[in-house]
């Protein structure tokens, strides 16, 4: 079966993973995995609800390159309520693999610059 890509994160292989946060059933219900992605100063946090078969490969530093990560909409498979699969689409691999009941974006922000000229929209004169 050829599953469609999930539209929540455009070209996920071009993003990097900045952080992971695991929410266990002990502290919230249902359990969830938050993954914070970054690209070109833009941060987006996605929450995977009731993730299963989770594999995370950590690198020596942060952020983690996504490699060939792809997010698929697998509702057509009718797999016990699972709607999302994070996997790889090429030979480079991916640092994250999982299945989840559902997926939602919980945060999106643009990193602010410390350059006062950028905030004012002006340009520096020499």
What separation in angstroms does the CA of 48 have from each of 23, 100, 120? Answer: 10, 6, 38
Residue 1 structure tokens: 């079966």
Beta strands in the chain (DSSP E): 16-23, 32-39, 42-49, 52-56, 64-65, 69-73, 84-88, 96-100, 102-110
Radius of gyration for the alpha carbons in the chain, expressed in angstroms and rounded:
17
Count of C-beta atoms within a 10 Å radius of residue 117: 11
Q: Which tens digits make up the pLDDT trace of 34-69? A: 999 999 999 999 999 999 999 998 777 678 889 899
Asked if residues 34 and 87 have their Cβ atoms less than 8 Å apart, the reply is no
Q: pLDDT over 70 for what percent of the chain?
A: 83
For residue 37, the model assigns a pLDDT of 95
| H-state helical runs in the chain | 116-120
The tens place of each residue's pLDDT in the chain, 126 residues long, gives: 589 999 999 999 999 999 999 998 776 678 999 999 999 999 999 999 999 999 998 777 678 889 899 999 999 998 989 999 999 998 778 899 999 999 999 988 876 554 444 433 444 443
């Amino acid at each position: 079966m050829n599953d469609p890509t999930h539209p929540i994160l455009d070209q996920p292989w071009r993003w990097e993973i900045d952080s992971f946060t695991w929410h266990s059933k002990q502290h919230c219900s249902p359990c969830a995995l938050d993954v914070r992605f970054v690209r070109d100063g833009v941060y987006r946090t996605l929450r995977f609800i009731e993730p299963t078969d989770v594999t995370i490969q950590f690198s020596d530093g942060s952020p983690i390159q996504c490699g060939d990560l792809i997010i698929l909409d697998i509702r057509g498979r009718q797999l016990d309520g699972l709607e999302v699969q994070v996997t790889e689409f090429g030979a480079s691999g991916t640092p994250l693999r999982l299945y989840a009941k559902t997926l939602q974006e919980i945060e999106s922000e643009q990193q602010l610059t410390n350059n006062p000229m950028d905030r004012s929209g002006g340009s520096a004169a020499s």
